Amino acid sequence: MPTYTAPTQDLQFVLQDMLKVSSQDIPGYDELDPDFTGAVLEEAGKLGAEVLAPLNVVGDKTGCKLENGVVRTPPGFKDAYDKMREGGWMGLDCDPEYGGQGIAYVLHTAVGEIFSAANMAFHVYNGLTHGAVSALNVHATDEQKATFLPKMITGEWTGTMNLTEPHSGTDLGLMRTKAEPQDDGSFKISGQKIFISGGEQDLSDNIIHLVLAKIPGGPEGVKGISLFIVPKFLINEDGSLGPRNGVSVGSIEEKMGLHGNATCVMNYDDATGYLLGEEHKGMRAMFTMMNEARLAVGLQGYAQAEVAYQNALSYANDRLQGRDVTGAKNPKGAADPIIVHPDVRRNLLDQKSFVEGARAFTLWGAHLIDRAHRLGDKDADGLISLLIPVLKGFQTDKGFEMCVNAQQVFGGHGYIEEWGMSQFARDARIAQIYEGTNGVQSLDLVGRKLGQDGGKHVMAFFDLVKNFIKENEDNAELKAGFLDPLKAASKDLQAAGMYFMAEGMKNANNALSGSYDFMHLFGHVSLGLMWAMMAKSSMEALEAGASNTEFYETKIATGRYYMARQLPATGMHLARIQTGAEPVMTLDAASF
Amino acid sequence: MPTYTAPTQDLQFVLQDMLKVSSQDIPGYDELDPDFTGAVLEEAGKLGAEVLAPLNVVGDKTGCKLENGVVRTPPGFKDAYDKMREGGWMGLDCDPEYGGQGIAYVLHTAVGEIFSAANMAFHVYNGLTHGAVSALNVHATDEQKATFLPKMITGEWTGTMNLTEPHSGTDLGLMRTKAEPQDDGSFKISGQKIFISGGEQDLSDNIIHLVLAKIPGGPEGVKGISLFIVPKFLINEDGSLGPRNGVSVGSIEEKMGLHGNATCVMNYDDATGYLLGEEHKGMRAMFTMMNEARLAVGLQGYAQAEVAYQNALSYANDRLQGRDVTGAKNPKGAADPIIVHPDVRRNLLDQKSFVEGARAFTLWGAHLIDRAHRLGDKDADGLISLLIPVLKGFQTDKGFEMCVNAQQVFGGHGYIEEWGMSQFARDARIAQIYEGTNGVQSLDLVGRKLGQDGGKHVMAFFDLVKNFIKENEDNAELKAGFLDPLKAASKDLQAAGMYFMAEGMKNANNALSGSYDFMHLFGHVSLGLMWAMMAKSSMEALEAGASNTEFYETKIATGRYYMARQLPATGMHLARIQTGAEPVMTLDAASF
């Protein structure tokens, strides 16, 4: 059975050494000194390793069961959920006015990595609630906030997001769910929603569904969509639970993975709903929480890769097979551990260097969101909005790939469910799909974000890279191993951007045909920048006489691996991009 | 539920237009005129589409069950197996002396694509039998041949391969299964073998296990391994089935996929075995069939991608979502089919151009095997031995990747088992692992095959590419779209080879650290060569006034896509290779 240990030292390194959270003047950051963040991560690590991780395989094997309209989550999930509630983990970064702890989102994100790596299917229940809380925070009336937030922040009630319908996924304009206005100001919601994570479960007393629907007579397409609060149980005036609302689970899906999380078909049949935000502005309301939701999914990608890597590494150290070609490393044993073989190391280092780079990118992204939300920093908001599709798309693609790589270390045993490596790959797979498929992420990046505010944010990113290189090029070690490859990769990214500007003007398909490659190119440059920053922080720590020299030296070596062996992908992506629309668009649909 | 249609026109194109099998002077090729191969493919296509494909989902959902020592294959498998037997499909390329049809291996391979795409788990039962027949063909005594081959060639009996033990996978020298010589010349086999595909099932009357074991007192390691024939039921003198032998199934594995095929733990307890070939030469006996076995697995990679692509294409034409940015293509509908979107096309064309390139590479490889076996062509044998790890490793990696891509076209529906796209990815995954993991393939390629016979075979490959380019560079269309990119990619491959020669001499790890990238680099150049050849054949057909111009024009456009959008990967692989051992070997195992 696979195991999990929270990488607290690595998380602390990103928070304290790289992001220097304890010296940032941002509301909620004042308590983020190393002792505090260390203690929080330590506690989260215990919960993750001891409570959540052991339920991961159970969740996969047992799955969720729908019986008489009730969803039973896997054995142990309810207990674990109660432990999380008791620990106050749901409300870590939530508004203290409604019972939250008001701690920085960046620390919530670091904790989220631990829970997600330990048991992704379990933590999705919490993730959806957190998303619903965020939406309510921004768009709800004070009364709505007072009614829903306190119970959701404690986890007594959970939340869901209802967007997709059978014929309407990416194209939400096709949505059919209706919201009929009632005399009392409420609405009657009718329609069917699919792929609703945690739409029904036995963990919480009530489920607050946020549902997109159309008010009859409103504008066509996405401009006529509104957002509604539809509780499973209506709420009495005194806050207690009232009668059951007209919403029920129709079925749960059999999926490739994420079995511990119930993916529900939800039927709304004259269910009572309350408008959240303005009429017909439902899409806008969704967008306000999209950065956080997509960052959380990008996190899932590398979190699964982290736990898969831990187990692959352990197997590579244990499994004896063959000999080091340069001389036996375990001469008394029947064979050497397979970690001696260069190709096994290549595989492990691809995983390790990706995971650590992605962790830095994700926490840096969370820090930008803190700046945006807590300081009102519009530049940070613009930058993270640009980067979110990269973070989500690139990290979930690579995260899945690395889970597959980790599985490969086990040879035939990786294919056997007993070893648990298959589950990491099967679970990670969904992250490439939900919260907008990665193809849609690339479209968002190239079609919307790149040109936003006159291209200001992508220029800011390039400036960031340029300035970092400029400020540090006196450091010869940093220059050779990190800044030079970063500069080359960044040039490829700029050339791709230039190509889109020049050729996309003539024909939008010249840009859209390269959107996926651009997303990956951008991902590599982003992780390259993260590695350069982490290497710099490590060198500074070593110069300052840090005691754990091996940790910092390993960090630098891992970064050098990423720069040398992963960044060369940027040239390939650029070459593909520069072929433009012709190879992609030339065939008629009928000729495929 | 997914569907499958055999791509008979594409298979015919490779056989007749590209390989020109009907004009090759090779034993078994004389009957391969277009009418004959077309009729065979047509019949195989019917069986695949109508009998095997409908059982694919059933096999996945039901799986195999072990009850009282008996394995029950999924409902319908036994009937389908009987239909295959009745059609004589098992012995298509087998020796007519023992009841085979003696038809070229290249046609057997084309038929194998159809069966494997239609139902991979089912066809694995046949694949193992075919492998065992090949081994018996080369190494068995006349008496052994007469006893086993006729029944195996009709499919009345099946075969298995028993190599792996719990602690001994890639490193077969660690094997513990013992073979004690008996006075009558037979052996008593004892030990445990794992991962035995079709080790037990209810399809055939007898199962002929080929088992690797050590005769006590023999040489240490792989040099002391012998190969044995161990029938499930012993054979009476008159050829009828005798008593049950000391071999039994211990358990069957729960796997990520390939549920319809029973993966067995086999226990040998003083089982009677008969030496196959010479004592202690078991590894050599295995090697003689390895090219065919690995080609068959490389085939599985693209065959799963083919069926996955067919379903993704159909979904992309049906699913309405969003609008073509250059103007609505389905203005009367609620939205356009998603195939209008450049990124969906990019995804589909990645699949299509890979599958068709891999099909050509595989059938070309099978043709080389025919030349080696039927003409005694040593150059063909050397060349295919070099290319086999590329064909197996590259095609199964890409095949899995393309199944994942096909799944992605379905968005959330791709993750739901009901749609069947998850199964293609889960089934294809095993092909990267069995018959030697792809890491081991890359080691075989760089550590053994590259330098074989003084590097003669890799030089022959380069000559082939060079001569093809030289002979055709007057064709301007071919040159621009195909020969120029092929030349550039081939240069990268040569540079990688030079790097290995120069730096691998100093330190073997400089070569081994790049083995995986080399395998992929070689794969791209190989498919590039195939596409150049297919484009040339298509242009010739068009010049000769072929009636189905759209088919040939599509072929050329698909090839141009591959050359433009896939071949740029070679530069990335070369850059990674040229970083050598340092980034890979620098960390201590303890520092990972």
How far apart CA A133 and CA A150 sit, in angstroms, is 10
Strands A225-231 and A263-276, by their bridges, are antiparallel
Query: How many CB atoms within 10 Å of residue B577?
Result: 27
pLDDT at A230 over 90: yes
H or E stretch at B231: strand B225-231
* β-pair partners for B515: none
> Sign of the CA dihedral B29, B35, B41, B47?
negative
B20 touches chain A (CB under 8 A): no
How far apart CA B226 and CA A407 sit, in angstroms, is 31
Residues 307-336 of B with CB under 8 A from A: 313, 317, 320-322, 325-326, 334-335
pLDDT band at A286 (very low <50, low <70, confident <90, very high): confident
User: Residues A344-376: pLDDT tens digits?
Assistant: 999 999 999 999 999 999 999 999 999 999 999
Q: pLDDT in tens for each of the 592 residues of chain B?
A: 899 999 999 999 999 999 999 999 999 999 999 999 999 999 999 999 999 999 999 999 999 999 999 999 999 999 999 999 999 999 999 999 999 999 999 999 999 999 999 999 999 999 999 999 999 999 999 999 999 999 999 999 999 999 999 999 999 999 999 999 999 999 999 999 999 999 999 999 999 999 999 999 999 999 999 999 999 999 999 999 999 999 999 999 999 999 999 999 999 999 999 999 999 999 988 887 899 999 999 999 999 999 999 999 999 999 999 999 999 999 999 999 999 999 999 999 999 999 999 999 999 999 999 999 999 999 999 999 999 999 999 999 999 999 999 999 999 999 999 999 999 999 999 999 999 999 999 999 999 999 999 999 999 999 999 999 999 999 999 999 999 999 999 999 999 999 999 999 899 999 999 999 999 999 999 999 999 999 999 999 999 999 999 999 999 999 999 999 999 999 999 999 999 999 999 999 999 9
A400 touches chain B (CB under 8 A): yes
pLDDT band at A178 (very low <50, low <70, confident <90, very high): very high
Averaged over A83-98, what is the pLDDT? 95
Strands A233-235 and B247-252, by their bridges, are unpaired
Q: A70: helix, coil or strand?
A: strand
Burial (0-12, 13-18, 19+ Cβ within 10 Å), A241: middle
A515 touches chain B (CB under 8 A): yes
**Enzyme catalytic residues of B:** 435
The verdict on domain A8-287 having CATH code 3.90.650.10 is no
Q: Count how many pairs of residues, chain A against chain B, have C-beta atoms within 8 Å.
A: 259
Query: How many CB atoms within 10 Å of residue B500?
Result: 22
How far apart CA B531 and CA B424 sit, in angstroms, is 25
Could you tell me where the DSSP H helices lie in A331-377?
A: 342-375
Tokens of A123: 């933590």
Tokens of B482: 């195909």
Q: Which CATH number fits domain A289-355+379-436: 3.30.360.10, 1.10.1060.10, 1.20.140.10, 1.10.1520.10?
A: 1.20.140.10
CB B584 to CB A404 under 8 A? no
Distance from CA of A363 to the nearest CA of B (A): 22
pLDDT at A288 over 90: no
pLDDT at A287 over 90: no
How far apart CA B43 and CA B47 sit, in angstroms, is 6
Q: What backbone torsions phi and psi does residue A312 show, to the nearest 5 degrees? A: -65, -40
Averaged over A226-248, what is the pLDDT? 97
**Enzyme catalytic residues of A:** 435
**Is the fold of A8-287 the same as that of A289-355+379-436?**
no
Of A572, A573, A579, A588, which to mutate for an interface test with B (greatest number of B Cβ within 10 Å)?
A572
Residue found under tokens 């939205």: B335
Question: Which among A349, A432, A516 has CB closest to B346?
Answer: A516
Q: What is the 3-state secondary structure (H, E, C) of A259-294?
A: CCCCEEEEEEEEEEEEEECCCCCHHHHHHHHHHHHH
- Residues from chain B contacting residue A415 (CB–CB below 8 Å): 255-257, 429-430, 433
User: Of B314, B528, B498, which is closest to residue B421 (Cα–Cα)?
Assistant: B314
B554 touches chain A (CB under 8 A): yes
Ranges of each domain in chain B = 8-287, 289-355+379-436, 444-592
pLDDT for residue B288: 79
pLDDT for residue B499: 97
Q: What is the 3-state secondary structure (H, E, C) of A75-120?
A: CCHHHHHHHHHHCCHHHCCCCHHHCCCCCCHHHHHHHHHHHHHHCH
> Sign of the CA dihedral A393, A396, A402, A405?
negative
User: Of A400, A406, A388, which is closest to residue A526 (Cα–Cα)?
Assistant: A388
Prediction pTM value: 0.98
Averaged over A444-459, what is the pLDDT? 96
% pLDDT > 70, chain A: 100
* β-pair partners for A208: A159, A231
Q: B477: helix, coil or strand?
A: helix
Question: Which among B337, B346, B516 has CB closest to A346?
Answer: B516
Task: Give, rounded to a whole angstrom, the gap between the first and last alpha carbons of chain A.
Answer: 44
Contacts of A203 (CB under 8 A, 6+ apart): A73, A77, A78, A81, A125, A158
Cβ–Cβ < 8 Å for B107, B15: yes
